[in-house]
Structure 1
Amino acid sequence: MLSSKADRSTARPTGDRADDAEMFELAPVSLWLEDYSGLKRLFAQWRAEGVTSLRDHLLADTARVESCSSLIRVIKVNRKTLSLYEAADLPQLVDNLGRIFRNDMLKTHIEELVQLWDGETEFFSNTVNYTLSGKRLDIQLRGGVLPGHEDQWDRVLIAIEDVTERETARRQLATSETYARGLFEHSPVSLWVEDFSCVKHLLDDARRQGISDFRVFTDVHPEFVSRCMSEIRVIDVNRHTLDLFAAPDKQTLLMRLGDVFRDEMREHFREQLIDLWNGRTFQQREVVNYSLTGDEMHLHLQFSVLPGHEKDWSLVQVALTDITARKRAEAYLEYLGKHDVLTKLYNRTFYVDELNRLERKGPFPVSIAIIDLNGLKAANDQLGHAAGDALLRRAGEVLSKAVDKPSYAARIGGDEFALLMPGTDEREAAMVMEGIENMLEVNNQFYTGLPLSFAMGAATSQPGERLEAVVKRADLLMYQAKRAYYATAAE
């Protein structure tokens, strides 16, 4: 509604007309009584000139919209209108209509005019006005030609409702939603929004059936865990999730969830169900998932039922942080703590711990071999430490293949090694020693240069004998073999 002229008549109505006038004046919404007859005559002129689409006609030259507005005459407004627009009286209001109706209204005003052009006697719009002090007003406008004035449009009643508070709240909500969506989409961790309501129904049904020990129940009925897993509905995932799982799009990821959550994940999910059964709706744990390319990923999972959904679990958030690099680093540090880097065998720390464990728990008999690498000092002195390191690596290759778990091979000194063989008697230990001799022969055929040679001694525990004594016996036998080696070499 754009208006330009006012009827400043001061005649006071009487009787029923006085009641109507009072209701108009005291109405709680802004009311405008206007004369659109000049607009109707302009429409008739344009039709005669061949205009068929008013919208196209006005958009082709927006100055025509101003022509329409200039023909609308304000007859009167009520008190609410003056208060809403901060005007002292009707003349001040009319004289400042250009400040009230700005370009923000252009598009909606065209739509109002089109509704009248199309034969409607009522029109509606949501638009923006301004008070005389410049304050923005979001308004909802309803207009209609009064009964008996349909031919001339000389009486049109406009009702304006101030919806600024509602629209401001809506815009703030939209801004908040955009902000929240941005945080979700661009989060540096994988975020999943899921519906666990069916899972809750299954747990509630199990409880109603008298299940009390849920862990035992899932031990006996592992298919229940699988069913719960299949009832989870994924509502949304963010961009980082697609990158993390190497998925081209959400649809592909959701169609291949079976490739993502498999193997170890079933046991992790069982523990998650047990926590939910016990009322823990916020959980953290480490899990293993797989990307769509098959890569194993170690993830830190944080599960939380979102506020307001505690009764039905219909909205939960799962946050996954990739800790694969950390787990690999931890595994490597653990490896370094137990292994010799050069030979890849276990180190002396592991050897001592394992020896103490076998002392306490067995199984007996325990056979122990002490092995010394012949010629390492000479190789280092004559050919350099690179040649000596090469011999040590070859020794590691042979000894790592000599025994299988629960037996272990360890480097316990510069050129000294040990084999711990639980549950192995003398005959079996002798077979291991013979196997090492055979592997030495093959190794020396494969590698050119210095030959690989061991001095070895093996001993088997007797009932009640300390393993420390077994090590000493094996060590003595090794030194006997070493003296024999150097005596032969000197001949």
Structure 2
Amino acid sequence: MLKLSPDMATADTTDARTDAMMFDLAPISLWLEDFSAVKALFEQWRAEGVISLREHLRGRPERVAECSRRIRVLKVNQRTLDLFEANSLDHLVAHLDKVFRDDMLKTHIEELSQLWDGHRSFASHTVNYTLSGQRLDIQLKGQVLPGYEESLERVLLAVEDVSSRETARRQAAQAEIYARGLFEHSPVSLWVEDFSSIKHLLDDVRRRGITDLRVFTDVHPEFVERCISEVRVIDVNQHTLDMFGAASKSDLIAHMGAVFRDEMHRHFREQLIELWNGKLFHQREVVNYTLGGDELHVHLQFSVLPGREEDWSLVQVALTDITARKKAEAYLEYLGQHDVLTKLYNRSFYADELNRLERKGPFPVTIIMVDLNNLKLVNDQLGHAAGDTLLRRAGEVLAKAVDRPSCAARIGGDEFAILLPGVDVAGGQAAIENIGKLIELNNQFYSATTLSVSMGMATSLAGERLEQVVKRADFAMYQHKRGQGVATPDA
């Protein structure tokens, strides 16, 4: 029989003591456990015909708990006692139901299944709890010790506390959900786009010695078209889909040509010039179009996102629909320049236009003064509603008689003026004849009253003030009126 020398026996004792110290002083939680009773339970279930432990345990938490109760904790180190707030091994074992509960039973299925499938090492991410109830996110790794592969009597588990990491991950996930919610449910249209290709195009133009992008795009308008084609839409929110009438993000992206067209090209060119000049944040009012073709006036805010200033690979565009405001402004502007009853321009616009023509022409300017005959008589005999109808009819005729840049205006109760820039005497006479024909046509549709006007025309002479032209046209109109005599309204 072989006998160990005293030195060898001492060495073995020293190694064992060293191993014990290493186990106890390890900086992570270590557990030495006996899984033999679990192995016996596995054999029982196999005999009963269980093939997949995962399927067998899924939806049966009581059987998972039964497996957990059969595990016998043999030894833990000091780090384990500190982590789980236990005074001793006995204290910890006596309260394992507080440590292993709730979420842990779900992940325990994976650990057991790996052993069931014949693996001698296993790993999982699970949740434990300290004895005071504090949640611990755990990264667990287990290893069956050599010589115990069949019995599973000795299994070493390393438990790493990853609570800080997982808390940070959950917070980041929650922040992402929160940010996504803000993006998706924002009451304004939000776009995330990639402008990196546009930056490359602008940089290439700059390397070619171009210093003024406005002049360059005047000469090469196709460059703006090229840049528009290089915009890559990464994401849009729900409000964008609703605003542009798109069924989905892919639907919107597939029809970007319908959204960015016509007037939008001029606005996009201004955006390019802003970027060229280093303005990575800018805002302006622009025009887009819905997929149905409706015009959208929007307030655009463009911003290269922080950290992407060098390549413009992420930009955010916020669009606020101001169509209703624009329509209101246009209507107020219309009211400021038009007579509500006749829909012609009003006296204020007429005075401004007269001053503008005085300064800029084109000359000659022909002015026709028009007076509606018998308005007072119609008002007195048939009422003001009939008089208003007569005024509206006069407005319809005069509006149809002139095209821009000519204009017709109501400058008094029954007085009208027509400004014909760049029109000579012959053109003015043709306009008067056209008005006469339109009046005859209009009277065919009305029987209660007859539309009748007196007209006078004058064409500016070289160096003549338009104020004098107005006086001459007014005088000619009154001569016409006196020559006609006073008509009576049809009954």
Correspondences of 1:33-112 after superposition (within 5 Å): 33-59=32-58, 61-112=60-111
Shift of 1:487: 5.1
Shift of 1:60: 5.8
The residue that corresponds to 1:199 in the other structure is 198
Alpha-carbon separation, structure 2, partners of 1:210 and 1:90? 78
Q: Deviations over 1:215-241 (max 9, x none)?
A: 111122222221111111111111111
Q: Deviations over 1:150-201 (max 9, x none)?
A: 1221111000000000111111111111111111111111111111111111
Alpha-carbon separation, structure 1, partners of 2:191 and 2:185? 13
Cα pair distance change 1:54/1:342, threshold 3 Å: same
Alpha-carbon separation, structure 1, partners of 2:403 and 2:57? 90
Alpha-carbon separation, structure 2, partners of 1:40 and 1:487? 121
Alpha-carbon separation, structure 2, partners of 1:66 and 1:352? 94
Correspondences of 1:457-472 after superposition (within 5 Å): 457-472=456-471
Alpha-carbon separation, structure 2, partners of 1:476 and 1:203? 63
The residue that corresponds to 2:21 in the other structure is 22
The residue that corresponds to 1:125 in the other structure is 124
- Contact map agreement 2:373 2:452 (CA 8 A) in 1: yes
Shift of 1:351: 0.8
Letter in structure 2 aligned against 1:367: T
Letter in structure 1 aligned against 2:68: S
Alpha-carbon separation, structure 2, partners of 1:38 and 1:424? 110
TM-score w.r.t. the length of structure 2 is 0.94
User: Over aligned residues, Cα RMSD in angstroms?
Assistant: 1.6
Correspondences of 1:227-266 after superposition (within 5 Å): 227-266=226-265
The residue that corresponds to 1:116 in the other structure is 115
Q: What SS does the corresponding residue of 1:336 show, helix, strand or coil?
A: helix
Alpha-carbon separation, structure 2, partners of 1:48 and 1:462? 119
- Contact map agreement 2:373 2:487 (CA 8 A) in 1: no
- Contact map agreement 2:143 2:155 (CA 8 A) in 1: yes
Cα pair distance change 1:395/1:46, threshold 3 Å: same
The residue that corresponds to 1:421 in the other structure is 420
Worse-matched range after superposition: 282-291 or 41-50: 41-50
Letter in structure 1 aligned against 2:79: K
Cα pair distance change 1:421/1:23, threshold 3 Å: same
Letter in structure 1 aligned against 2:403: D
Letter in structure 1 aligned against 2:434: G
Alpha-carbon separation, structure 1, partners of 2:82 and 2:31? 13
Q: Deviations over 1:28-61 (max 9, x none)?
A: 1000011112222222222223322223333464
Shift of 1:461: 2.2
Letter in structure 2 aligned against 1:339: H
Letter in structure 2 aligned against 1:235: I
TM-score w.r.t. the length of structure 1 is 0.94
Q: What SS does the corresponding residue of 1:406 show, helix, strand or coil?
A: coil
Letter in structure 1 aligned against 2:278: G
| Structure 2 residue ranges without an equivalent (≥5) | 1-11
Shift of 1:427: 2.7
Alpha-carbon separation, structure 1, partners of 2:487 and 2:103? 107
The alignment status of 1:391 with 2:390, answered yes or no, reads yes
- Contact map agreement 2:374 2:488 (CA 8 A) in 1: no
Alpha-carbon separation, structure 2, partners of 1:403 and 1:45? 102
Shift of 1:322: 1.0
The residue that corresponds to 1:189 in the other structure is 188
Letter in structure 1 aligned against 2:424: D
The residue that corresponds to 2:311 in the other structure is 312
Alpha-carbon separation, structure 1, partners of 2:60 and 2:242? 50
Alpha-carbon separation, structure 1, partners of 2:72 and 2:140? 17
Q: Deviations over 1:244-291 (max 9, x none)?
A: 111111111111111111111112111111111111111111111111
Q: What SS does the corresponding residue of 1:457 show, helix, strand or coil?
A: strand
Letter in structure 1 aligned against 2:257: G
